[in-house]
Structure 1
Amino acid sequence: MTAARNPHAAVVYNPTRINLERVRRIVDEAAASAGWGESTWIETREHSTAVDQVAEALDGGASLVIAAGGDGTVREVAGAMRHTNTPFAVVPVGTANLFARNAGIPIDTVAAVRVAFTGEQRPIDVGLIEYRTPEAVQRKTPFLVMTGFGVDADMVAYADPALKRRFGWIAYVVPIIRGLFRRDRPRVSWKEDGGPIASGRMHTMFIGNCGTVSAGLEVLPDALLDDGILDVLMVRSLEGWDGVRVTRWLHRANNPVARIKKARGTENSDAPPSAVDTAQEAGGALHYLRVGRIDVRVSPAAEFQADGDAIGPVTAARVTVDAGSLLVRLPATTPRTARLGRT
């Protein structure tokens, strides 16, 4: 009779991001402590997709797939892990680590690896954007945090890669300022869940699976990773009174009192008003939607991003949510404030 083999993990890693020797040592120690076998290591490659790397991991019998890298690596591996019923974990080693911060995954490598092997398994949603380029090329990519155009996309598209590698978030300062003060606004038409078409000129659009961006700013305060819903924020402009109204709305969503109330639970009578309701008080300066699907047309084409990766100019997009499609290892005591709705 053949003895049962201990489960093992596969680590899909970005070699430009991690100190491989250190991370391997930490993973080996955590695996041994959990009674797991030796992990396999699969390097991301320029001419290979995450689908190939995940297939290699699962074909090798991995009981857990860990993505070790920045938000781009995490996004691509997570997209390939949908509907596999195999747990997915994250060791965040990027510049922003937005998904890890939204999901409550520790940024510290030792703690993140411990969660990968001993954390609680939770189903979360994955966003999908199918888009068309100005050359009429159709493409599709997943996202865990958010997609859209405007301030966030400009920050990504125009950041100097050399400065980013050397100084991290400092490289984003000039692109952020450029995006905030940009005056051109594309004409946007959108359709919610197959309903009637609406339109207007917009400065920025966020479409998110969760709502916190850099510096801990919540731009989608009602977004949850596991509610089967996309939250959408459209900002008309940041000039004059529009800028004042948007700033007030963001302050209201991010002040400490609102965060404390949210931590008590959205069904509690003490919870703050919904973002949809408060956006309606902003005099048309912004729109806040909650949808299962949104179809968008942009003229002229605008630079889009997905989880901090520039995906280039987009003329039309359909954004949907693949509800509960990804099993993620999270800290056992993940709070509601970590963008999940069920504990």
Structure 2
Amino acid sequence: MTIELDPVMSWLVIIGLVIVLGAAFLIGRRTGVRRALKTARRYAHATNLSDAEADPATRYRAALIVNPTKTDVRRLSSTAEAICRFEGWSPPLVTETTPEDTGEGAAVRALDEGVDVVIAAGGDGTVRAVASALAGTSTPMGIVPLGTGNLLARNVEVVLDKTEWALRIALWGRNREIDVGTAKIAEDGDTHVFTVMTGLGFDAAVMADTNADLKSRLGWLAYVEAGSRKLAGKPSHVKVTFDDEYRILARVRSVLGGNCGKLQGGIQLLPQAVIDDGMLDVLIVSPKNLGQWVGVLASVLGRKASNGLHTDIRKCQKVVIEARDQLDIQLDGDPVGRSSYLEMAVMPSALTIRVPTVEQRKQIRAEAWPV
């Protein structure tokens, strides 16, 4: 028996197929063919099936990229696997960073595997490396903060001292799109990604001169010790150009640009910085002697919004700093060498990260940790 479709029904079928194929093409371009097929399988999966009945191929999967210098990788992997099993996820794809690949290459491979979230477990350097691969994609990044500063985690209120909760936030937290900064340390050089702050001068010299052993024993207080040894340096002559229009000439100790400004101890270095406003906040620090550093400290602790004592903050989308001398440069706290050139710009809403939901925040404040 032959079943005939009337012309209207035939056209509806054809249009439906075109829509499905078009959606698959767009998703495939964005996240890879494997991820597109996985997404289609997931939405086709019946919602009334239990985790035990679900096809493992349709379950969510996380990638966990771990800095082995910050934690016991085997223990963290076991914890992550147990939490994923409890939450109905497939076992995580676990990769360790190396001196040659600090996380970016591992994150790219995780994207090729079509994972649903990439979790950076380490310090700010690991987070920055993973973010470099995820920026511009729709795959979210989770954070298990294990470093000294953990600045991005602090600014988006990811829990710092409970690995289990950080993992759960990475799996089931709320997606939030944030801005990403880009930096070039040579006019024709490579472009680097940063998520928190990049600086030239005093702040970068402190990062470069911080004793690693002291840092492991004292944490962020090691930066204070290094900073005390750098206060007596001389200002540097720089030209700072904002958005290719406004230029200033100044003698400065440091120029720093950032998407967010919360440091350890609740200090707000960039008090008006917003992580998703599409702008960079640029801080110029210009004390001429040790006495004027007291004014700088008063401005920072007093959360001065724009012009403080020997400080100046401006908002822009791009800034270029040209120095007379070679100065230290840091990206999210990592020293990257010396240069007389630093260009920073912002990529609005370029990175999706997992942050606590309202319910998770309540449980965090109540210290209602899962067992």
In the superposition, the TM-score normalised over structure 2's length comes to 0.77
- Is the CA contact 2:81–2:91 (under 8 Å) kept in the aligned structure 1? yes
Percent of aligned pairs sharing the same letter:
33
Q: Where does residue 250 of structure 1 map in the other structure? A: 300
Provide, for residues 185-219 of structure 1, a one-character-per-residue CA deviation record: whole Å limited to 9, x for no partner.
11110111110321110012221111022332111
Q: Where does residue 236 of structure 2 map in the other structure? A: 186
2:154 is equivalent to residue 104 of structure 1: no
> What is the CA distance between 1:49 and its match in structure 2?
5.6
Given candidates 337, 352, 355, the residue that maps to 1:312 is 337
**Structure 2 Cα separation of the partners of residues 239 and 301 of structure 1:** 20
- Is the CA contact 1:42–1:57 (under 8 Å) kept in the aligned structure 2? no
- Is the CA contact 1:147–1:206 (under 8 Å) kept in the aligned structure 2? yes
2:80 is equivalent to residue 30 of structure 1: no
**Structure 1 Cα separation of the partners of residues 293 and 132 of structure 2:** 36
RMSD of aligned alpha carbons: 2.2
Query: Comparing both chains, which one has the higher relative contact order based on Cα–Cα distances under 8 Å and sequence gaps of 6 or more?
Result: 1
2:293 is equivalent to residue 237 of structure 1: no
Aligned residues between the structures: 306
> What is the CA distance between 1:235 and its match in structure 2?
1.2
Provide, for residues 244-288 of structure 1, a one-character-per-residue CA deviation record: whole Å limited to 9, x for no partner.
4433322321xxxxxxxxxxxxxxxxxxxx813xx1x64xx2221
Given candidates 260, 275, 286, the residue that maps to 2:305 is 275
Structure 1, unpaired ranges of 5+ = 254-273, 336-343
One-letter amino acid of the counterpart of residue 177, structure 1: S
Given candidates 279, 285, 296, the residue that maps to 2:321 is 296
Q: Where does residue 228 of structure 1 map in the other structure? A: 278
Q: Which moved more, 1:85-94 or 1:203-212?
A: 203-212
Q: Which moved more, 1:24-33 or 1:183-192?
A: 24-33
> What is the CA distance between 1:25 and its match in structure 2?
2.4
Bigger radius of gyration, 1 or 2? 2
Given candidates 115, 127, 138, the residue that maps to 2:189 is 138
Provide, for residues 72-109 of structure 1, a one-character-per-residue CA deviation record: whole Å limited to 9, x for no partner.
00111111111120111000111121111111011121
Residues 297 and 46 from structure 1, CA distance in 2 versus in 1: closer, same or farther, beyond 3 angstroms?
same
Q: Where does residue 126 of structure 1 map in the other structure? A: 180
> What is the CA distance between 1:22 and its match in structure 2?
2.4
- Is the CA contact 1:238–1:246 (under 8 Å) kept in the aligned structure 2? no
* 3-state SS of paired residue (1:80): helix
Q: Where does residue 268 of structure 1 map in the other structure? A: none
- Is the CA contact 1:30–1:117 (under 8 Å) kept in the aligned structure 2? no
* 3-state SS of paired residue (2:302): helix
**Structure 1 Cα separation of the partners of residues 234 and 100 of structure 2:** 36
2:226 is equivalent to residue 175 of structure 1: yes
2:73 is equivalent to residue 73 of structure 1: no
**Structure 2 Cα separation of the partners of residues 223 and 155 of structure 1:** 22
**Structure 2 Cα separation of the partners of residues 198 and 240 of structure 1:** 24
Given candidates 168, 174, 185, the residue that maps to 1:114 is 168
Q: Where does residue 59 of structure 2 map in the other structure? A: 6
- Is the CA contact 1:128–1:320 (under 8 Å) kept in the aligned structure 2? yes
**Structure 2 Cα separation of the partners of residues 299 and 215 of structure 1:** 34
> What is the CA distance between 1:152 and its match in structure 2?
2.3
Structure 2, unpaired ranges of 5+ = 1-40, 46-54, 362-371
**Structure 2 Cα separation of the partners of residues 187 and 163 of structure 1:** 32
**Structure 2 Cα separation of the partners of residues 176 and 123 of structure 1:** 34
Provide, for residues 279-324 of structure 1, a one-character-per-residue CA deviation record: whole Å limited to 9, x for no partner.
1x64xx2221000000110121110111110011121111001110
**Structure 1 Cα separation of the partners of residues 288 and 86 of structure 2:** 52
One-letter amino acid of the counterpart of residue 230, structure 1: L
**Structure 2 Cα separation of the partners of residues 238 and 330 of structure 1:** 41
